[in-house]
Amino acid sequence: MRKIFSGHLILVLILMAVMGLTAVTARRGLRILKEKKDKISIHGIVCNHSSADLWLAVTRKKRPRIYVLTPDRCTNFFKEDAEAIWGKECTNGSCEYQAWKLGVGRFDVYNAADSPSGVVLRIIGWGAGSSWHITEEWPKPDLSAIGYSLVK
């Protein structure tokens, strides 16, 4: 009887040790996933191949802000999430904001043409949509600072 009891006791102790090790590993794994989630962009990356400064709405450390991306530069994939590219659309002498919401992926911006109202930049990338709803929480650049319009 003692042999059977001690065999069961050893088996129970082994199972408890395995379960405890599994729980510690799972918590540690969740912590690692959480840390990586904070560092990796989920919206996309923007590269400015144009001759104009590009105005972006980005989220950096969970805070939305306006960001100027100079020519021949890309957003930092590990530190910021590109939310939208700002432009302006001018018709009949008045100008309005133009915002292109970005999805996941890479977006490249090139000079497309010059027009009487300014430079036209072309966005190349999967998931770019024109004239999406501009949410109020997005900070906007000064409209007079934007010297280009956007096309896909």
Q: Express each pLDDT in 5-31 by its tens digit.
A: 567 777 777 877 777 655 554 444 444
Asked if 4 and 54 sit in the same domain, the reply is no
CA-nearest of 85, 87, 74, 72 to 45 is: 74
Handedness of CA 127, 85, 106, 151 (dihedral sign): positive
- Provide the 3-class DSSP secondary structure of residue 2: helix
Confidence band for 132, pLDDT divided at 50, 70 and 90: low
Asked if 94 and 32 sit in the same domain, the reply is no
Look at the chain and report how many structural domains it folds into. Answer: 2
Asked if 132 and 57 sit in the same domain, the reply is yes
Asked if 17 and 74 sit in the same domain, the reply is no
Taking 3-state DSSP, the helix, strand and coil percentages for the chain, each rounded to the nearest 5, stand at: 25, 40, 30
pTM (two decimals): 0.66
Domain of 7, in residue numbers: 1-39
Q: How far apart are CA 81 and CA 64, in angstroms?
A: 9
- Residue with the larger pLDDT of the pair 45 and 43: 45
